[in-house]
Structure 1
Amino acid sequence: MERGEGAMHVAMFPWLAMGHLLPFFRMSKLLAQKGHKVSFISTPRNIERLPSLPSSLSSFITFVSFPLVPFPGSTRGSECSMDVPYNKQPSLKSAFDLLQKPLTEFLQEESPDWVIYDYAAHWLPPVAAELGISKAFFSIFNAASLCFLGPPSLLLEGVRSTPEDFTVVPPWIPFQSNMAYRYHEVTLVGDKRGKDTNGVSDSARFGYSISESDAVFVHTSTGFEPEWLGLLKDLYRKPVFPTGFLPTGTEDEVEGDKTWVGIKNWLDKQSINSVVYVALGTEASLPPAEFTELAHGLEKSEVPFFWVIRNESQILDGCVERFAGRGMVHVGWVPQVKILSHSSVGGFLTHCGWNSLVEGLGFGRVPILFPVLNEQGLNTRLLEGKGLGVEIPRDEEKGSFDSDSVAHSVRLAMVDDAGESIRAKTKLMMGLFGNMDENSRYVDELVGYMRSK
């Protein structure tokens, strides 16, 4: 594969979170497969965390590494949102903003045709414009979540001033919808109007990133949310392109990994579609009381489960021993795509990060919805509105839940007759979320637009 005539040079600049780095990396690979040169720009440790590049693409993708300045609350190697407590993320954003100088110098020297950037780089569009480089905002969030945020002008004005403002369907959504946060989710989201140490709110970052882009690329498909993509075009008044779901194959994960061998041995012993995979993402930590209710609920469900926990400090005394025979607990990183692709896995109890939902639906795994942070409540509403998945009921205001509601939700998703229609509908999603050829066509359209500019 050679860089042919009409090939472009595209710079990719994601925010410092795994849920952002991975979709940008998958998009980079698709661009490279189509013969375009990609410069993938991030910090040293985040680049190390990416899956290895297929040798066929190594001459098309160059990794460009800029060190991150140490920031309050950081330790050596803190370069990603999962490395710092949630309340220290404003400091991480301020350190990220200091990448403006080396990135500007890189863009001046290399003058790529396009730069594709993330919401946090609100300062990048004017830099690119001055250098005559085309610029696209790539949203790793779905169209429905972006529609809830509203048009860029309102984001910049910061019109929502109380938590209650986030718990109602906004007036610019013209059709029947459930798209709003629950009260307890707004407090979990953290105050998105709060400023970081540079005095910039997340709303402002989104507002500038969207309004000053030449085009907006969205990690979704017309087949899944046509109504929301249509509304987004009306709200943004500029080209909006779905990227498709950027499906990943298991080849993205390290083959022969010892971790996978042990997990596979356990999964191989389970019946087809019988296991619920439990993973709450890289950023969330449950309070001990919630961890206990979730653990007891999984036990009560009598459904085999494989539970991934980020670090040992989260595990309560004696629970691993108690689970023996019914479930398996694993601490640390796992090859999630390999687990989801295993035939014994039938359901996915998830924090509802969009990447995880996309991966689970790509293999037809029934989502058991347990939103924890950020836009995850909105993702839950989107799936519920389409009759996909089972949400674990929680107290509207406090967010509390009990083990019985966990057990009921897991059984409904996995085994009860009442959940049969949800299981059938989820299986149909494989053709939409997991079809590599179909999803690749979205990138073809997007590339056609980029080349025309």
Structure 2
Amino acid sequence: MTPARVYQVPCGMLLLGTATLFTTWTGLTPEAAPPPRFETERRSVMTTRRASGMTSMERFSLTLSRCNLLAIRSCVEWEPESVPLLPTLGGKPVIPLGLLPPSPDGGRGAGEDAAVSCWLDQQPARSAVYVALGSEVPLCAEQVHELALGLELAGTPFIWALRKPDGVADADVLPPGFEERTRGRGLVLTGWAPQMSILAHGAVGAFLTHCGCSSIIEGLLFGHPLVMLPMLGDQGPNARLMEARKVGVQVPRNEDDGSFSREDVAGAVRAALVDEETRRIFVANAKKMQEIVADSECHERYIDDFIQQLRPYQE
């Protein structure tokens, strides 16, 4: 394919990560906490050659060299310490886009799935944890079992959007007897889940998430404390950033391989939903972040400013 610059077509690059992530990677700021060993080892995927013959890092560098500007899904209100430190990257201007939050009423409604709607309506207010770990990096069968048994051990209602591990028979995905033991208290969804509608429902009181940027924003749009189980890429730094802001708690992990136990899952869920002292802190701080995420006028101003920054490239 002929590079766009041959035709003098202006190009912009969207940075998929927080400003804090890029200021730490470039040495502008120290990371608040050192990453665990398993996360550092997983970063080697950035230097692994893909089917294209290039590594992710090479692709990033090439795109950076050929673009005119960069956009980042962040704003000063969200990252007051980091955004001002990142006016440029690689000599190219970095322009905040705001958080691009979805509409609280967006997406398909839970009413379109009768089982989800019915189950949520039967739960006490702010009693359930919604569990969704994204679609990119599914847990292995052993970790799915530990997560399931941890939700059972926590004793709270849960609704789980489960992506089944590859190569595992349907009958073996969940621990034997799990669904029977948690019937009425838990609902496991293996197909599409109306995430926004679930998070908006009054029965949900916490969000167990892999800490992808979009999931964090969606959870905090409704003021939910986060139970954090990051897997790969920017998810670990995202989780540490949110943990530093006391909007939730990370599930403790084995430093070497990233594994976790059912007791660790149960303890983190209880801290976010049951323990009055920790939940009060998490809810108060999540509400502060909710004010930023839900400020549509603020984010529209960032979009307007971004458009203005593009105008010189149209001339």
TM-score normalized with structure 1 length = 0.63
- Aligned mate of 1:332, from 161, 185, 191: 191
Match of 1:242 among 83, 87, 96: 96
Quote the residue 1:447 is aligned against.
307
Alpha-carbon distance in structure 2 between the residues aligned to 1:326 and 1:256: 18
Of residues 401, 404, 407 in structure 1, which corresponds to 2:260?
401
How far 1:173 sits from its partner (Å)? 3.1
Deviation at 1:386, TM superposition (A): 2.3
1:182, CA displacement in angstroms?
1.4
Partner of 1:321: 180
Q: By how many angstroms is 1:179 displaced?
A: 5.5
- 1:428 is the counterpart of 2:285: no
Q: Are the aligned partners of 1:148 and 1:179 in contact in 2 as well (CA < 8 Å)?
A: no
Distance 1:379 1:141 in 2: 8
Counterparts of 1:72-221 in structure 2 under 5 Å? Answer: 101=1, 127-150=3-26, 172-174=27-29, 176-178=30-32, 180-189=34-43, 191-221=45-75
Q: Are 2:210 and 2:235, in contact at CA under 8 Å, matched by a contact in 1?
A: yes
Cα distance 1:329–1:359, how it changes in 2: closer, same or farther (>3 A)? same
Give the 3-state SS of the residue equivalent to 2:205 in structure 1: strand
* 1:286 and 2:145 matched: no
Secondary structure of 1:227 counterpart: coil
Specify the code of the residue in structure 1 equivalent to 2:218. Answer: E
Determine the structure 2 residue equivalent to 1:70.
none
Tell whether the 8 Å contact from 2:146 to 2:262 is kept in structure 1 after alignment.
yes
1:351-376 Cα distance to aligned partner (Å, 9 max, x none): 11111111111111111010112221
CA displacement at 1:418 relative to structure 2: 2.8
The amino acid of 1:212's aligned partner reads R
Are the aligned partners of 1:304 and 1:327 in contact in 2 as well (CA < 8 Å)?
yes
Decide whether the 8 Å contact of 1:278 with 1:350 is kept in 2: yes
Aligned 1:346-385 pairs, distance under 5 A? 346-385=205-244
Q: 1:399 Cα deviation (Å)? A: 1.6
| Aligned residues with identical type, % of pairs | 33
Q: Is the counterpart of residue 224 in structure 1 residue 78 in structure 2?
A: yes
- Judged with a 3 Å threshold, the aligned counterparts in structure 2 of structure 1 residues 148 and 332 are, in CA distance, closer, same or farther, namely farther
Tell me, in whole angstroms, the C-alpha distance in 2 between the residues paired with 1:201 and 1:223: 34
| Cα separation, 2, equivalents of 1:319 and 1:364 | 30
Deviations 1:174-224 (A, max 9, x none): 4x5325531112344552211113331111111222233211110112111
RMSD, matched Cα: 2.1
CA distance in 2, matches of 1:200, 1:179: 31
Q: Deviations over 1:385-430 (max 9, x none)?
A: 2222100111111222211111111111112123121211001111
SS in 2 for 1:239: strand
Residue 167 of structure 2 is matched in structure 1 by none
Q: Which residue of 2 aligns with 1:345?
A: 204
Give the aligned length.
306
CA gap of 1:140–1:192, structure 2 versus 1, over 3 A, is closer
Q: Structure 1's 440 and 372: CA in aligned 2 closer, same or farther, altered over 3 A?
A: same
In the other structure, the counterpart of 1:25 is: none
Q: Any idea what the Cα deviations from partners look like across 1:67-104, whole Å, max 9, x if unmatched? A: xxxxxxxxxxxxxxxxxxxxxxxxxxxxxxxxxx4xx6
Deviation at 1:331?
1.0
Distance 1:197 1:286 in 2: 23
Q: Distance in 2 between matches of 1:245 and 1:272?
A: 28
Q: Retained in 1: the 8 A contact 2:209–2:215?
A: yes
Q: Distance in 1 between matches of 2:212 and 2:176?
A: 28
**Where do 4+ consecutive residues of structure 1 move more than 6 Å?**
none
Contact kept? 1:148, 1:180, Cα under 8 Å? no
Report the Cα distance in structure 1 between the residues aligned to 2:304 and 2:33, rounded to whole angstroms.
31
Helix, strand or coil for the counterpart of 1:200?
A: coil
State the alpha-carbon separation in 1 of the partners of residues 104 and 276 from structure 2: 32
Which structure 2 segments of 5+ residues have no match? 165-169
**Consecutive unaligned residues in structure 1, runs of 5 or more:** 1-100, 105-126, 151-171
User: Which residue, out of 156, 159, 170, partners 1:306?
Assistant: 159
Distance 1:310 1:422, change over 3 A: same
User: With CA pairs under 8 Å and 6+ residues apart, which has the higher RCO, 1 or 2?
Assistant: 2
Q: Is the 8 A contact 2:104 2:221 kept in 1?
A: no
Q: What is the SS of the residue equivalent to 1:249?
A: coil
What is the rounded CA distance, in whole Å, between the counterparts of 2:162 and 2:46 in structure 1? 27
